[in-house]
Amino acid sequence: MKKWIFLSLALHAIYLSGQEVTNYQIVINQADPFKIKVKAIFPLAIDTLYIHSSCPNYDYPEGWSTFIKPQSANLKFLGNSKWIAQGKEISYEVDLSFVKKNWDVGNEQAGLYIDQSMFVATRALFLSPPSDQKFEVKFDLPKDFVVTTPWTSLGSNRFLVSSRQELMNNTVVWGLRGPETIKEGNFKLNFILLGYDKKISNRVRKTFKAVLKEYLELFPQTPNSNYLITVFPFEQNDGEAYESSNAFSLKSPISDDNKIIWANLFAHELFHFWNGKMINTADSEETEWFSEGFTEYYSNLALIRSKVLSETAFYRTIEKTIGLYYYFKNSQYRKLSIMEAGTGDSYYRFGVYNGGWCAAFVMDMMIREKLAGKSLDDFMHFLFEKYALPGKICGLNELKVAFQEFMGSDTGDYFGKYISGAELLPLESYFQSMGISLDYTDYEGTAFLFSKPGASAVQREKQGRWMK
């Protein structure tokens, strides 16, 4: 704890010592909530700026640049997310009217205005120099407005942002809705429930806290962290993870009855903070099965281990996952490997998410079988120690080598058979070893798990250890 406090103080000391930073000032007008003014002051004269290139709506061929209106003569659009600017200062307006549109990919990837509060992905807000540096962002807010970000607060609605990625790939909320805060060790989690009665916040808080505790026990080396979650009602259940924030939408009201949906969405998107950001696979197509499938595996386990979900609800969740994996392998793409599924995860989604989940399960069972007292938890911990460092990338080859090193090379060609190869993962035998029967109909995409009445004490103990 003292080490991270020291590092935080050191960070502020560096900042205060006069280190060059780019300053942004964002002016918000309550009378016109869909337009903001931005002024940027750079430490050195610049000539080229960029906006985030990922705008997931084909209605806008110029991407996020569509919504930037220059207010200074020295700022001009060049195309392909690129802008030209001369001097050390620019100003522009951002038209946030895109938050009124229902985005096909989900508004958690763009923004939403609700409860006199604006949620928006920072991808749409900032024109930034290409080089990495630190930034200061100051918000000029109307009276009674609150701004919530995952960045380091400097007081008076000012924030220090540690990198270009943290600036351009996050979320922010401003308006009348402020955050609820959970503090667990060195981890500060803010969550904002937009469009919901505040009475449900205790139910949500209890669930979020339980899952966060599970993840911090899995990764006890997690450094001092700020994180923001935004939840809002919408026409579909969906979620998106950013650098140090996530957002998800829910079709049905939040209740204990549908916790299997909203708690799992939260758990999945939060786990990306570790598996995706800190264990960085650099969004590689070859490792989509790992970043998404293993994340879903741990979101399911976190909910049963923390007793957020009952055992019955847990089995309902994983039966769906397994059934769609068999549908993918036996009825859709028999010759396509889980690794190859990452080349088009919207088309091969069941290969990426469901196949990745099944790959995680088999790897977990292999470890438990071959290394006494060990599990996939220990391998994830091993990966964290090895790759959760700035600049480190954990690609497919790194995963393969790490697994061989962890297992002492006794992997049975796991990667060759089941990841880059197209062999069917041996789920049935591993469930059988826990006294669980697996029955499925692949062309229907259904699977069912049954506890065998005659399961031995050893089998029941295995099952208990897996879920605890």
Measured distance CA(167)–CA(150) in Å, rounded? 10
Q: Which domain holds residue 183?
A: 21-271
**What is the mean pLDDT of the segment spanning 8-35?**
74
| Average pLDDT over all residues of the chain | 92
Under the banding of pLDDT at 50, 70 and 90, the label for residue 14 is: very low
Nearest one of 223, 465, 439, 416 to 322, comparing CA atoms: 439
Does residue 354 lie in a domain region? Answer: yes
State how far Cα 332 lies from the chain centre: 28
**Token output for 313:** 């609800």
Among the residue ranges 17-21, 71-75, 278-282, 337-341, the one predicted with the least confidence is: 17-21
Same domain, 260 and 304: no
pLDDT tens readout for residues 215-263 = 999 999 999 999 999 999 999 999 999 999 999 999 999 999 999 999 9
For the chain, the C-alpha Rg in angstroms (whole number) is 23
Tell me which residue has tokens 């391998």: 379
For position 19, what pLDDT does the model report?
Answer: 63
For position 90, what pLDDT does the model report?
Answer: 97
For position 347, what pLDDT does the model report?
Answer: 85
Nearest one of 345, 350, 353, 301 to 330, comparing CA atoms: 350
Q: Number of C-alpha atoms within 13 angstroms, CB side, residue 119? A: 27
Same domain, 289 and 267: no
For position 38, what pLDDT does the model report?
Answer: 98
Same domain, 264 and 344: no
DSSP string, 162-174: -SHHHHHS-EEEE
**What is the mean pLDDT of the segment spanning 380-390?**
91
Same domain, 267 and 292: no
Q: Assess whether pLDDT exceeds 90 at residue 73.
A: yes
Report the CATH number at residue 178.
2.60.40.3650
**What is the mean pLDDT of the segment spanning 2-26?**
58
For position 345, what pLDDT does the model report?
Answer: 63
User: What sign results for the dihedral spanned by CA atoms 290, 387, 379, 273?
Assistant: negative
Does residue 346 lie in a domain region? Answer: yes
Q: Assess whether pLDDT exceeds 90 at residue 452.
A: no
Residue type at 464 in one-letter notation: G
Does residue 455 lie in a domain region? Answer: no
Same domain, 143 and 180: yes
Q: Assess whether pLDDT exceeds 80 at residue 390.
A: no
Same domain, 259 and 349: no
DSSP letter for 330, please. Answer: I
Same domain, 149 and 250: yes
Measured distance CA(9)–CA(11) in Å, rounded? 5
Does residue 432 lie in a domain region? Answer: no
Q: Assess whether pLDDT exceeds 80 at residue 463.
A: yes
Among the candidates 238, 271, 304, a domain finishes at 271
Among the candidates 223, 246, 271, a domain finishes at 271
For position 468, what pLDDT does the model report?
Answer: 84
DSSP letter for 272, please. Answer: T
Q: Assess whether pLDDT exceeds 80 at residue 188.
A: yes
Q: Assess whether pLDDT exceeds 50 at residue 83.
A: yes
Angle at 211 between CA 170 and CA 446, to 5 degrees: 95
For position 8, what pLDDT does the model report?
Answer: 43
Does residue 79 lie in a domain region? Answer: yes
For position 23, what pLDDT does the model report?
Answer: 97
Same domain, 139 and 266: yes
Same domain, 266 and 400: no
Does residue 195 lie in a domain region? Answer: yes
For position 208, what pLDDT does the model report?
Answer: 96
Nearest one of 290, 241, 249 to 270, comparing CA atoms: 241
**What is the mean pLDDT of the segment spanning 297-321?**
95
Q: Cα separations (Å) of 31 from 35, 38, 172, 191?
A: 10, 17, 20, 26
Among the residue ranges 30-39, 292-301, 370-379, 447-456, the one predicted with the least confidence is: 447-456
**What is the mean pLDDT of the segment spanning 89-110?**
95
The answer to whether 427 and 362 are in contact (CB under 8 A) is yes
For position 3, what pLDDT does the model report?
Answer: 37
Does residue 120 lie in a domain region? Answer: yes
**What is the mean pLDDT of the segment spanning 435-445?**
94
Helices and strands counted in the chain (H then E): 15, 19
Residue type at 15 in one-letter notation: Y
Domain count across the chain = 2
Does residue 331 lie in a domain region? Answer: yes
Same domain, 248 and 338: no
Residue type at 302 in one-letter notation: A
Among the candidates 225, 241, 271, a domain finishes at 271
Under the banding of pLDDT at 50, 70 and 90, the label for residue 10 is: very low
Same domain, 220 and 245: yes
Q: Cα separations (Å) of 47 from 75, 92, 167, 331, 381?
A: 9, 16, 20, 54, 44
Same domain, 49 and 74: yes
